[in-house]
Structure 1
């Protein structure tokens, strides 16, 4: 079967669900995963055929049911690295790459840095920092044993040596040691915002990693900041990915806990998305 015909089928069937650009991206993702080919290959060889039309059909059916393509192939790409993901871990987002880039630009490159990634999930933040800052000592913390198991597999695949801790951060009374960097992308979507969440997220990603109660949407940020205030080294920094609607509240919270400097930064879509704080 001509792959060009499959491309037309993808665009036709998926465009009512996604916009045409997204549908095209999903096709190209499948082209790479199933055939090991790129868009340029298809342009240069328009008569390319597939020997696995059944696999293409199954993938298209799953995408039509809005299953995330990263879950179909059990991997996602983040900051140039490949991460295994499953139903126990969030799919890494581009805005989180911006947070990682900010951290890398904010820490010394030539001395060991102690980093704690709280709520690590697949490990995309902490493991990327371990790769990009090879002198760093990274610890990944999560409440979920299943998420940590996936993070461990990703650490092995990436060839980095990091520490793992299973803990409910909300019940923690102290952190294990002192850190130069503490980073977290905790649950921050309020229940009232569920109407904005797409089916591919709502039905397939872990709700415990996504949602908080409307009555206390900053519960994780407050607890982590209180612990960080005690456990950050001199000149240490606390980084967060945040709810875009609660930027002002985040700055007020961090100031009330005692952080003297907090920078609120927008992502590429001009949403309030991340903070950096120091004592």
Structure 2
């Protein structure tokens, strides 16, 4: 079925995607597409249902439909997303930033009282965490580490896009023993999805987002957390803080691990959905 206007396009999308997505999600895809391509509001969508679409818009919508049918996330189709009010380039080399990570960043921004803080994000991906921290705490000196060259290229492009200076470099989160630098704040959203949880994940995540940034062995759920916490214990300045985004199933275990390493004033924090999602610990 071809389409010439928004009404016909909506009918086509609902018909072609109904076996994969909920109706509300399909409507949201259409709203996002027209906001992205034409800056249409939802009122515009209603008022211009019968307006004839330009050829380039029709082509983009046709290509987007095929990609959505193949479970490609809408953010990868656009090549961009929004995080904490900022625009970020995204591609299959980096995870799509999540609302829970916005909550983590907000916690750090609200918490930070140190003048000219030195900050580090380990496993930076798109760079959304350090870039947003730098944007909101301009006097901070911020670094981002990742093992993926492709992710670092994306992160650097995002720093330029948002007009901030962040020092990105290649570093393996599991090989930090010989690194000796001092920070006021270390943050990480490391891989925390168990291999056995793959079957519970949606195809748009499983088939498109980088497994390197997602999964850990079933028998080592805190693999990255332990390595990063050990590094933080040695490399945080006095009264420095370590922040983690975590797997909701391992909140207590993460707290216990940090206690055993000597962290103090540990806080386990829930996200807006009531799930254990963030942990903060301090060094003396």
Give the TM interval when normalised to the shorter protein.
over 0.9
Deviations 1:48-94 (A, max 9, x none): 33113122111011101110111111111111111001111000011
Deviations 1:91-138 (A, max 9, x none): 0011111111111111027x2111100000000111011101111110
Residue in 1 that maps onto 2:64: 59
Residue in 1 that maps onto 2:211: 207
Q: What is the alpha-carbon distance in structure 2 between the residues aligned to residue 141 and residue 228 of structure 1?
A: 14
Root-mean-square deviation (Å): 1.3
8 Å contact 1:174–1:227 — kept in the other structure? no
Q: 1:165 aligns with which of 162, 169, 182?
A: 169
Q: CA deviation at 1:23?
A: 1.6
Q: 2:102 aligns with which of 97, 100, 111?
A: 97
8 Å contact 1:122–1:154 — kept in the other structure? yes
Residue in 2 that maps onto 1:155: 159
Residue in 1 that maps onto 2:38: 35
Deviations 1:186-221 (A, max 9, x none): 000001111111100111011010000011110100
8 Å contact 1:28–1:39 — kept in the other structure? yes
Secondary structure in structure 2 of the residue aligned to 1:171: coil
Residue in 2 that maps onto 1:249: 253
Structure 1 residue ranges, 4+ long, deviating more than 4 angstroms after superposition = none
Secondary structure in structure 1 of the residue aligned to 2:46: helix
Q: CA deviation at 1:153?
A: 0.5
TM-score by length of 2: 0.94
Q: Number of residues paired by the alignment?
A: 278
Q: CA deviation at 1:160?
A: 0.3
Q: 1:3 aligns with which of 3, 6, 30?
A: 6
8 Å contact 2:109–2:137 — kept in the other structure? yes
Deviations 1:28-54 (A, max 9, x none): 111112233121212333333311312
8 Å contact 1:42–1:48 — kept in the other structure? no
Secondary structure in structure 1 of the residue aligned to 2:126: coil
Residue in 1 that maps onto 2:51: 48
Q: CA deviation at 1:176?
A: 4.3
Q: What is the alpha-carbon distance in structure 1 between the residues aligned to residue 238 and residue 63 of structure 2?
A: 54
Q: What is the alpha-carbon distance in structure 2 between the residues aligned to residue 10 and residue 82 of structure 1?
A: 27
Q: 1:26 aligns with which of 7, 29, 47?
A: 29
Superposed, 1:132-147 pairs within 5 Å as 132-147=136-151
Residue in 2 that maps onto 1:276: 280
What residue ranges of structure 1 are gaps of 5+ in the alignment? Answer: none
Larger CA deviation: 45-54 vs 132-141: 45-54
Secondary structure in structure 1 of the residue aligned to 2:76: helix
